[in-house]
Amino acid sequence: MTDTLKSINPATGELLGEVKITTSNELTTIVASARLAFKTWRQVPLNERADIIARAFSALEPKHQELASLMSQEMGKDKRRSMGEVSGVIYGAPYSVQDVAMAVKPVDVGGNTQMQYLPLGICAVISPWNYPLAMASNLIIPSLVAGNAVIFKPSEETPLVANEMVAALNEYLPPGLLQIVHGAKDLGQKLVESDVNLIAFTGSMLAGKDIMKRAASGLKRLIMELGGNDPMIVMANANINAAARFAVASSFENAGQMCISTERIYVDERIADAFEKRVTEIASQYMVGPWNDANANIGPLINVTQFNKVKSHIDDAVAKGAHVLLGGPAQQAPYITPTVIANIKPDMLLEQEETFGPVVAIARYQAIDEAISRANDSVYGLGAVVFGAQGADIVAQQLEAGMVAINQGVGGGGNTPWVGAKQSGFGYRGSVEGHRQFTQVRVLSK
């Protein structure tokens, strides 16, 4: 049995590097070290904690290029997207730190009573590979600002870039406050079962359910984003060009490996021909290629398992009568070429599951109630989008998702939560309420 994780360039199969897998004994030591660091860190005044964390993330700036290049090679996304992700982490951190600090300040509520937001203890942060620094930072920052210590388990697909970020941050953070562990599913399970107080997780629904079971005996706090199968409804009065552009961009972004990718589209049959034609025209302009190909805008899928899953969804749709408008079953790993499939049905995997690949999947509807029903017929409920003019707001109100948007992507503006409904989430991050989930609420009456 190997004692290292090997990081592989998904475009070339090249070995980029290795990291040592954390043993059970090492994990026990790391948890104990985190507990000691927490006892000191929780006593540091909130404004000082915020300043230390902001400085640590600002110190990543000299490593901007290095982190972006490593991310591209390790995960597969092109350099422009990696640069954007790293920029968001570096330059967004001071604002995130300030937002969290404001949210967890004590609040006087009258009658000599105060609401306090105290640190919980140790937060286990388990993050995915598709946005390896952004997703991690979104959980690490509120954990630390709130006064917790953090044990960070990155995806086994992207250990190197996570290592580099943590090493740079730890030049400015107190010893033991932020520690990284490496391993596959079994290590993640051991971390959840260890002496931690909170698990902040982004990943699959099945993994989230497993975490919930393992955390139950200790009633550990959970903040989990568990993927999506996001629907898009295109009404008869929609701007066809705008809707088509969004459909393709949202389906293909990050090679479709994005939790809020548009996974299934329901278009009014009166405009379906024009919509499908425009989608195919736009999609045909996309090209696959490695991260350093200036002409490529769809990178490789992260590994063979993910490639096989996406291809199986395409094959299943074709076998059940879907119409291939672009791309289709003839695929060669590690890339899925731009694919547009029409006439998807409720029994197809493209409609039932999260595909997580560059596929635009389209169905036609006659009545808007049919579109709403199919959009809502899912255990997932992360995001949902409707494109249309008059009546679009009425449709949006009926969509069962934590984030809904009209004529644009989900996520909103300002300090809003990133939240899933149904089985797409348990707890949430972002916003005052989200930041406070990283704390223990205490009512102090004097």
Q: Tokens standing for 388?
A: 């249309």
Catalytic member of 74, 85, 225, 263: 225
Q: In what order do the strands lie in the sheet with 107-110?
A: 107-110, 113-119, 439-445
Return phi, psi of residue 227, to 5°. 80, 180
Classified as helix, coil or strand, 238 is coil
Helix (H) or strand (E) run with residue 87 in it: helix 79-103
DSSP 255: G
Say if residues 198 and 47 touch (Cβ distance below 8 Å): no
Q: Which amino acid is it at 160?
A: L
Strands 122-126 and 113-119: unpaired
Is 259 marked active-site? Answer: yes
Say if residues 341 and 359 touch (Cβ distance below 8 Å): yes
Say if residues 156 and 127 touch (Cβ distance below 8 Å): no
DSSP 398: T
Say if residues 265 and 234 touch (Cβ distance below 8 Å): yes
Catalytic member of 74, 85, 253, 259: 259
Torsion of CA 97, 98, 103, 109, to 10 degrees: 150
Instruction: Write down the residue that tokens 């090209």 correspond to.
Output: 287
Is 157 marked active-site? Answer: no
Residues serving a catalytic function are: 225, 259
